Amino acid sequence: MAQPPAGAALVFLLNGPNLNRLGRREPHVYGRQSLHDILSELERHARSLGLALEARQSNHEGALVDWLHEAEDRGALAVILNAGALTHTSLALRDAIAAIAVPVIEVHLSNPAAREPFRHRSRIAPVVRGVIQGFGALSYRLALDAVAAMRQERPGGEDQRHD
């Protein structure tokens, strides 16, 4: 894969449990694209925006907590996070997001608000910068566009959270 442009701002893209099964997991809900295919497109889009994407996926809550901390330690401009079902349950992820100054954008392929009641509550929504959901793989791309627009607004990428 081509290198990001020199001086590109670092953006973490974190995917949680079961998102490694995209493409074959409930395709009527999550689409037919694999995570690998989605990431290839996103890497290209990120480069065109002057962003360097660091994409990771784990089925383990603790790994996601560690990567949120790492995003701050490495001076990331933003984190784009699809926490999967941990969205609805994880106080540890909520606390990790609240503990870092890096803005986090919550992303979902589906629209959890239009699905089963247990998906209606996001534990992390109160501490993220914003939420993009319901656009399939496009949700990730829109999140990247939001990061690029935030960067334009505030050169230097200062913390803009108000929680």
> Does 108 participate in catalysis according to the annotation?
yes
103 binds ligand DQA (CB under 6 A): no
The DSSP call for residue 85 is: G
Q: Which of 112, 137, 140, 147 binds ligand DQA (CB under 6 A)?
A: 112
| Choices 47-55, 67-75, 105-113, 124-132; region in contact with ligand DQA by CB under 6 A | 105-113
d(CA 32, CA 37): 10
d(CA 99, CA 66): 12
- Residue 135 has φ and ψ, to the nearest 5°, of -105, 20
Which residue number, 4 or 17, has a Cβ lying nearer to ligand DQA?
17
Which residue number, 87 or 90, has a Cβ lying nearer to ligand DQA?
87
> Does 30 participate in catalysis according to the annotation?
yes
| Residue 160 CB-half CA count within 13 A | 16
Among left, alpha and beta (phi > 0; psi -120 to 50; other), residue 50 is left
| Choices 31-39, 56-64, 67-75, 83-91; region in contact with ligand DQA by CB under 6 A | 83-91
* Footprint of ligand DQA (CB under 6 A): 18, 82, 84-85, 87, 108-110, 112, 119
Active site residues: 30, 108
